[in-house]
Structure 1
């Protein structure tokens, strides 16, 4: 992780310590691609669309893009679109002047003005109502807006980063989310892999959170039981990094001994956990059998290709031999899933 971070920092003139401070760390090939994408995105000012399951760190990535960009000294304003009342969407975004309506006793800045010069992060963008989508689309066309009750049109200078944990492309096809808005938001994109697909990162993150709580509670002698760390590797983590972090925090506080042993991750208990209903499949149940099956196969292929490339240390010919594929066919599969061989070389 540190070597990759240092390389990115050299190429993009970034402070390497910021990634660690922002709790953005990992050494899996899947995560390395994310880190490199962040480095590239910080050098431009285009809108960014972040896609990832709940708990994968979408807001952390949005903050990293902001604080590692030229806008770092200006505000980062985060808003959850699901909390924006439909009837007040323009007021929330644009604000109002004094006297704009009966209860407007004083002027109030909206989210756009609060983020002036910086970044406006719109989380759960898929929850915007139809009216909210039209309002945002109109703003994105020329970055101009008018606070309620004002006669003066203002021009905003900010970056828009949006995020979702839902299949927005499917919502676009269903007509639930506007296609033109999606295209305007999705200029640059970051797809965050779920924790279960980040081979090796679970232990890295667990140790990172453990060290944080050791320092926070001044209990440096607490450690994980080896069985606990081993068991963590076989759990699917439907809540992703957030679930891991919260679990470690809780177990750290509850442990009466220096050795933290989480029974759910030990021996036979793991069979019960891995055989339980996997919540991550709930989204698939909303899709047709054909689409759900294709998604599962796609995820498996990408994970399998990464695994054999890691085993072959980036050697495509060796990886193709392990997979029982012709080199040319194997290379096409790597291209299909945008898997770079450079990510796997030691």
Structure 2
């Protein structure tokens, strides 16, 4: 399915360096040494047609890395099909991946090609692959072995040339020890692995990214020149960013929208005057507004600590908080700490 012959037939990219430069400039932002290593790894991985496992905390940009691998590869002109495994019901996972014949089950009123067929000759990206149940893992393993599959309710054997790339923020080896993830599937998927570093490992990339996000917001909302409060730069550098780049982007967006002048304030600077503007007053607030703000700060701090302790695992963090995962996830997304993983 993913051997060198099919890759050779499609032909290697003529100028992968040019594509890499363009994609990196627009998407893989940051100048730290650790991110530069990742960019070089992506370029190498894009040139080999094998399964890939992308590892990293929530919000680090795993999907961006996967898209880079696809669009810098020989398959770049073919479909890129992303799938959030955590959003697929266990009872329908085989149908969603492999398709089904009409009448295969109660609600199968028409046939479905399935996501693998949609990704033919391209890349199938399975995000949150650790969310797959054992039955779905067995079906995926069969497909990875020889590229053949059957639709649910069908008898015909079909073939698809698809590169499978998966991503997770979980430790798959630990899941195999707990018998929650098949060891043979792990070996099939983990031909090549790529780890995306957390934002706190990337030095001053947080400041660089925040500046880029601010420029984009200024253009989007047609605002004049704006700058960060001096204390915000210290906050950007020292904050642990458990939600990583997504948390940073949402924090900048929120601070931008709440700014009443040309100063964007993050962290403690949100309620401090700008030293560069001595006449900048502290905002007057009603008791109700101040209380709501204090509650919001408490929630954000509490959620950040939970996400840090759970290493970005929403399900684990929800259990630690004694909350239902769906309600906990809504609260986390409301504060912009992790991305909405519905895609």
Give TM class, smaller chain: 0.7 to 0.9
Output the CA distance in 2 between the equivalents of 1:145 and 1:13: 37
Work out whether residues 226 and 262 of structure 2, in 8 Å CA contact, stay in contact via their aligned partners in 1.
yes
Note closer, same or farther for the CA distance 1:144–1:240 as it changes in structure 2 (3 Å cut). Answer: same
1:15 is displaced (CA, Å) by 4.7
Distance 1:265-1:195 versus aligned 2 partners, 3 A rule:
farther
CA 98–32 in structure 1, closer or farther in 2 if over 3 Å, else same: same
CA distance in 2, matches of 1:91, 1:284: 29
In the other structure, the counterpart of 2:248 is 244
Cα distance in structure 1, aligned partners of 2:312 and 2:72 = 35
Aligned residue for 1:109, secondary structure, equals coil
Offset of 1:101 from its aligned partner?
A: 3.4
Give the SS at the match of 1:161: strand
CA contact 2:79–2:123 (8 Å) conserved in 1: yes
Q: Deviations over 1:317-340 (max 9, x none)?
A: xxxxxxxxxxxxxxxxxxxxxxxx
Equivalent pair of 2:57/2:311 in contact (CA under 8 Å): no
Structure 2 contact 251–266 (Cα < 8 Å) conserved: no
Output one character per residue of 1:106-158: Cα deviation in whole Å (capped at 9) or x when no partner.
22121101111111111111111111111111111111011123332111111
Which blocks of at least 5 consecutive residues in structure 1 are unaligned? 1-8, 286-346
Name the SS for the 2:67 alignment partner.
Answer: helix
> Which of 278, 281, 284 is residue 309 of structure 2 equivalent to?
281
Q: CA 1:15/1:82 → structure 2, altered by over 3 Å: closer, same or farther?
A: closer
- 284 and 38 in structure 1: CA distance in 2 versus 1, 3 angstrom threshold: closer
Q: Which residue of 2 aligns with 1:90?
A: 94
Shift of the 163–263 alpha-carbon distance from structure 1 to 2, 3 Å rule, reads closer
Partner Cα separation in structure 1 for residue 269 and residue 157 of structure 2: 58
Distance 1:198 1:266 in 2: 24
Match for residue 294 of structure 2? none
Residue of structure 1 equivalent to 2:156: 152
Which among 175, 178, 182 is matched to residue 179 of structure 2?
175
Post-superposition offset of 1:226? 2.0
Kept after mapping to 1: 8 A contact 2:169/2:312: no
2:170, 2:74 → 1: CA distance? 30
Pair 1:36-2:40 in alignment: yes
Distance 1:273 1:229, change over 3 A: farther
Shift of 1:161: 0.6
Q: Where does 1:223-234 land on structure 2 (aligned, <5 Å)?
A: 223-234=227-238
Q: Are 2:104 and 1:76 aligned?
A: no
SS of the aligned residue for 1:113 comes to: helix
Alignment of structure 1 residues 261-340 onto 2, 5 Å? 261-264=265-268, 277=305, 279-283=307-311
1:134 corresponds, among 138, 156, 159, to: 138
Q: What RMSD over aligned residues (CA atoms) do the two structures have, in Å?
A: 2.7
Q: Which residue of 2 aligns with 1:18?
A: 23
Cα 1:74/1:10, change in 2 over 3 Å = closer
C-alpha contact 2:51 2:189 (8 A) present in aligned 1: yes
Task: Count the aligned residue pairs.
Answer: 274
Q: Secondary structure at the match of 2:242?
A: coil
State the alpha-carbon separation in 2 of the partners of residues 267 and 219 from structure 1. 22
TM-score of the two chains, using structure 2 as the length reference: 0.74
The 1-side partners of 2:51 and 2:305 are apart by 37
Shift of residue 14, structure 1, vs aligned partner? 2.7
Q: Structure 1's 262 and 98: CA in aligned 2 closer, same or farther, altered over 3 A?
A: same
Cα displacement (A) at 1:218: 1.0
Contact in 1 for aligned 2:176/2:182 (Cα 8 Å)? yes
